Structure 1
Amino acid sequence: MTTSNITHFLPFLLLFAVLAVWINGSCAKVPDEDDHAAFLGAPICPSPDNSLYYRPVIGILTHPTDGAGGKLNKTSYIPASYVKFVESGGARVIPIIYDEHEDTITHKLELVNGVLFTGGFMTLPSYTNVAKKIFQTVLHKNEAGNHFPLYGMALGFEQLIHFVGKNPNIMEKIAAYDQASKLNFYTRDLGGTVFQSFPPELLNKMSTKCLAMHNSGVGISRERFEKNSTHLPSFFKVLTTSVDAKNKEFVSTAQAYNYPIVGFQWVPPKNAFEWGNRKIPRTEDAIRVTQQTANYFISEARKSKTKPDETEVLAHLIYNYQPVYTGKEGKGYDQVYFFP
């Protein structure tokens, strides 16, 4: 056969070759799951830790007023930054509306795996009473063997100090509004604390750079904290202190000895999720502080024995509400969930 003849038949030869490959492939056995597992080496992935709950839910207590001086005619709110903080750690949120019926609050506490008390600008006796009952419920759950964490931030931490210290006048005036500061580690023993998984280099940066955002006019000095000898020092371990604008030292992070309860006189969610205040630290390290703090909280919530009915959870999730953009004026919270 001449070269010209071969060239003439070349397209047909290529077509037959393609058809042969296609027919051979279509007749071949498609690997099933067993074949696939055998090829990769079963089991493909290790089983999760059955002692942990991987669908944790956090209850966030709403704060009195609408956060806008009553202009919006709402009775309570949750800054969306706290919701995002919880979600960034791998959990969902159920709002615990402070003025709803006591039975409803009790029911919601059976659907969550931990609780968060937010910061805020005012308190009412009704709010304080509900927060105290929730605090007592957290203690009872843990004493009964159900690991149940609580975070209190800024005003939330102040509430914890009041409840544990049994003194409504224990707080002192500090000048820490709109202030980023360093955290002075009061102890080197951070095992089992919120800071246990922080990389050493990040802990060092937290003690040398201003990575913690404060927004408080009251706090508690280390001296007053320690003089409350029958209550606070036996319940809380001081982890960090900070210094206000007038060089006054105050307790900035404390963690309970015998309960998964942590109090912050700073607000970790602000670094990553609030934009109205230009003094909030924005560096990559500041964002890592937010993330590490969220991760610890939710890792503690996964230890909870509460495994609620999913239908009940869905009925109460914060997804049933819509956040409102409130940050156009460049101050306050960027987004807020309002509750009638």
Structure 2
Amino acid sequence: MKRNTIITIAFIALLLLIIFIHNFYHNFKNKKCNNNSFTKEVIDKVNPIIAIISAPLGGTRKTDSSMRNDKLFKARSYLPLSYVNWLQLAGAKVIVIDCFDNKENIENKLNYVNGCLFTGGEIDTVNDKDLKDYISTWKYVYNFSKSNNCPLWATCLGFEFLALMEQNEIEIFNIFRKGGILTNVKGNRISSKLIPYESFNETFKLDCSLLKQATENESLYYNHSFGYILDVATKNAFEQDKFDILSYNYDRDNVKYIGTIKKHGKEIYGTQWHPEKVIFEWKIEETLHNSISIRLAQEISNFFIKKCNNYKPKKEFSTEQKKWLIYNYDLYSYSKIKTVFEQQKYFEMLEENFDQFYLIIDYN
């Protein structure tokens, strides 16, 4: 009897061991596949059209005497090419919406796109008309995005405008001219660790190893002179405007400011940091270029393009609209102007024809 009991117990133990080994192998295999294999979501066709909105050209550039005999002297707006590259990195095509275009043409283009992006850079806050026109275009695109849940991304300067978009145009203009909730910070040329709230990865769903590395090592590059200090008043203002704060960081004086936001319930995102610079900008020596920052930038690009790919525009982009694609415009070599960007494109209206621009590519 005892012998039979021992045999039975041994058999059960062996059976349990076999089950354990099988489950362990199965879970390990699945875990490995989840990290490395293609899923249906990944192999879906990726072909979104993203509109980048240009920004007004700074007054200094427009009055530089060395430019007077060059087409760039007549340019009104520009965009850094690194943002185009960052979107193309994840499979997107790019068209341009000039910030001085009329609302009819802007809406026409918005009806064909899967998403929009507002760049970083600099803006001429001395020229009242240019600033007001830019704010008006910003509001128009923002309201379109919010109403249709069309994905929108805004970086640095774009982030600073995005956070004010629930205000009216006069209030936004006054904040940029006179200050207010948007204030001076010492955030120029800083590489930092990611400091996320839980909502950051609830939103972006980064791989656990990448998130850990990004929070333990320099992974974000900042280059800005203005920002939103993360105090009680600012936090309340963001909550009132239904912006979720996903991450924060510190400037050179250890002042805590907002790093990443998302519009609550909408596919609208903003970062004070630059995912595009760590891959495509090399002119500033301090720009961060390590493997973690590059991988993070790639994953954020993939995330946004996936959101865009899931959005169905009102009209189908076809042969007629292909003339809007950014690489179809004429290019003009230009190397005189001082800029922090590797490449820029400059836009000039031609006799009020809002579908034609001069594009000048800058290799500084």
Q: After superposition, where does 1:23-38 map in structure 2 within 5 Å?
A: none
Structure 1 portions without partners, runs of 5+: 1-45, 143-147
* Structure number with higher helix proportion: 2
What amino acid maps onto 2:151 in structure 1?
P
TM-score under structure 2 length normalisation: 0.72
| Secondary structure class of the residue paired with 1:271 | helix
Distance in 1, Cα, partners of 2:239 & 2:215 = 30
Distance in 2, Cα, partners of 1:338 & 1:329 = 12
2:328 is aligned to: 320
Per-residue deviation, 1:328: 8.3
Indicate if the aligned counterparts of 1:254 and 1:264 stay in contact, CA closer than 8 A.
yes
| Secondary structure class of the residue paired with 1:268 | coil
2:302 to 286, 291, 295: 295
1:6 is aligned to: none
Distance in 1, Cα, partners of 2:200 & 2:271 = 18
1:248 to 252, 255, 258: 255
Q: Does 1:59 align with 2:70?
A: no
What amino acid maps onto 1:162 in structure 2?
L
2:138 is aligned to: 131
- Cα distance, 1:134–1:229 mapped onto 2, change above 3 Å: closer
1:207 to 212, 215, 240: 215
1:181 to 182, 192, 204: 192
1:273 is aligned to: 280
Question: Which has the greater radius of gyration?
Answer: 1
Indicate if the aligned counterparts of 1:165 and 1:228 stay in contact, CA closer than 8 A.
no
Indicate if the aligned counterparts of 1:326 and 1:333 stay in contact, CA closer than 8 A.
no
What amino acid maps onto 1:248 in structure 2?
V
Indicate if the aligned counterparts of 1:181 and 1:212 stay in contact, CA closer than 8 A.
yes
Indicate if the aligned counterparts of 1:325 and 1:336 stay in contact, CA closer than 8 A.
no
1:262 to 262, 265, 269: 269
- Cα distance, 1:318–1:88 mapped onto 2, change above 3 Å: same
Q: Which has the higher contact order (CA 8 A, sep 6+)?
A: 1
Per-residue deviation, 1:314: 0.8
Bigger shift: residues 95-104 or 161-170? 161-170
2:105 is aligned to: 104
Per-residue deviation, 1:322: 5.1
| Secondary structure class of the residue paired with 2:141 | helix
Per-residue deviation, 1:284: 1.4
- Cα distance, 1:247–1:326 mapped onto 2, change above 3 Å: farther
Per-residue deviation, 1:321: 2.4
Distance in 2, Cα, partners of 1:267 & 1:47 = 29
Indicate if the aligned counterparts of 2:61 and 2:337 stay in contact, CA closer than 8 A.
no
Structure 2 portions without partners, runs of 5+: 1-37, 126-130, 349-364
- Cα distance, 1:91–1:180 mapped onto 2, change above 3 Å: same
1:190 to 193, 197, 201: 201
Per-residue deviation, 1:172: 1.6
Percent identical = 29
What amino acid maps onto 2:240 in structure 1?
H
Listed one character per residue, the Cα deviations across residues 111-166 of structure 1 (whole Å, up to 9, x for unaligned) are: 11000010121151101110111000101112xxxxx2100111101111111356
> Cα RMSD between the aligned structures?
2.5
| Secondary structure class of the residue paired with 2:198 | coil
| Secondary structure class of the residue paired with 2:345 | strand
Distance in 2, Cα, partners of 1:47 & 1:202 = 20
1:222 is aligned to: 230
What amino acid maps onto 2:61 in structure 1?
G
| Secondary structure class of the residue paired with 2:270 | strand
- Cα distance, 1:325–1:283 mapped onto 2, change above 3 Å: farther
Distance in 1, Cα, partners of 2:207 & 2:39 = 27
TM-score under structure 1 length normalisation: 0.77
Distance in 2, Cα, partners of 1:85 & 1:228 = 31
Distance in 1, Cα, partners of 2:213 & 2:335 = 30
2:82 is aligned to: 81
- Cα distance, 1:165–1:105 mapped onto 2, change above 3 Å: closer
- How many residue pairs align between the two structures? 283
What amino acid maps onto 1:136 in structure 2?
N
What amino acid maps onto 1:315 in structure 2?
K
